[in-house]
């Protein structure tokens, strides 16, 4: 789907989820097994409103996020907390935007701030809102997968608009206990059918590529050297 940690990352990227590559942490075999099949009590996913607004803004440099629309998660889904001026939308995605085979899918701990540019706000955000609706309805992971797949096949969900991308440059992004944080990075979304070749995933290439079923979307992920506050990222 849209967001996932960049490991040595996989957002497939997308859904997500999406992400910059970070090495998996060593652990017991059971840590790699799915631990969530349905949403936990909603309170575990909610945040203080002001804290969520502040966290959402950390996804991108202030020159972008200061004038962006900000969404926050409520019991009925995402709501606009701050009206924007520049067409960007910043939101803290939750773990139902991770790939369906990610053990952290539906983990209440995940907090994934991203700031969508205007084309992504018109297209990718629709997927975020739909996945959120399904998760909050109590659907199982398999039911969500089937519903999203059918929605794309029926063209009820849009493919990425040309130029769709987002910033994920927050020091506070958290992909769950298995991954922790990821490098600051940018994600670029394209319809899978475009078959664009960026040389991603090749030796010494700085570009990662993800393809997460059931979304017919290709995500390219590029790590950047600084966090959204301008400080240097470790090892970059």
Residue 203 lies in a domain: yes
**Does position 36 have pLDDT exceeding 60, yes or no?**
yes
Residue 17 lies in a domain: no
**Does position 227 have pLDDT exceeding 50, yes or no?**
yes
**83 Cα distance to chain centroid:** 21
Instruction: Give pLDDT, residue 156.
Output: 97
Domain count, the chain: 1
Residue 231 lies in a domain: no
Is residue 170 within 8 A of residue 55, CB to CB? The reply is yes
Residue 32 lies in a domain: no
Q: pLDDT over 70 for what percent of the chain?
A: 85
Residue 6 lies in a domain: no
Distance CA 73, CA 56 (A): 11
> Is the sign of the CA dihedral 118, 13, 224, 115 positive or negative?
positive
Is residue 164 within 8 A of residue 124, CB to CB? The reply is yes
Candidates 136, 86, 110; CA nearest to 15 is 110
Q: Is 235 exposed, middle or buried (CB count within 10 Å of its CB: 0-12, 13-18, 19+)? A: exposed
- Average pLDDT over every residue of 16-29: 39
Residue 62 lies in a domain: yes
Residue 12 lies in a domain: no
* Three-state secondary-structure class, residue 118: helix
Instruction: Give pLDDT, residue 236.
Output: 62
Domain residues for the domain of 96 are 41-223
Task: Quote the pTM value.
Answer: 0.85
* pLDDT tens by residue, 103-141: 889 999 999 999 999 999 999 999 999 999 999 999 999
**Does position 22 have pLDDT exceeding 50, yes or no?**
no
Residue 51 lies in a domain: yes
């Amino acid at each position: 789907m849209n967001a996932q940690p960049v490991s040595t990352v996989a957002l497939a990227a997308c859904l997500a989820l999406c992400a910059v590559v970070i090495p998996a942490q060593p652990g017991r075999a059971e840590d790699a097994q799915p631990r969530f099949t349905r949403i936990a009590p909603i309170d575990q996913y909610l945040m203080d409103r002001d804290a969520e607004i502040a966290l959402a803004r950390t996804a991108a440099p202030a020159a972008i996020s200061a004038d962006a629309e900000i969404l926050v998660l409520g019991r009925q889904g995402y709501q606009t907390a701050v009206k924007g001026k520049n067409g960007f939308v910043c939101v803290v995605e939750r773990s139902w935007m991770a790939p369906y085979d990610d053990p952290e899918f539906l983990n209440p701990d995940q907090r994934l701030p991203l700031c969508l540019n205007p084309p992504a706000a018109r297209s990718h955000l629709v997927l975020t809102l739909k996945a959120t609706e399904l998760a909050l309805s109590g659907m199982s992971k398999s039911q969500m997968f089937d519903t999203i797949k059918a929605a794309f096949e029926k063209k009820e969900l849009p493919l990425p608009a040309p130029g769709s991308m987002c910033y994920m440059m927050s020091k506070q992004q958290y992909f769950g206990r298995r991954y922790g944080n990821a490098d600051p990075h940018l994600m670029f979304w394209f319809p899978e059918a475009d078959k664009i070749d960026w040389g991603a995933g090749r030796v010494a290439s700085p570009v990662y590529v993800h393809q997460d079923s059931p979304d017919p979307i290709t995500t390219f992920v590029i790590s950047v050297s600084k966090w959204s506050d301008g400080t240097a990222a470790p090892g970059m």
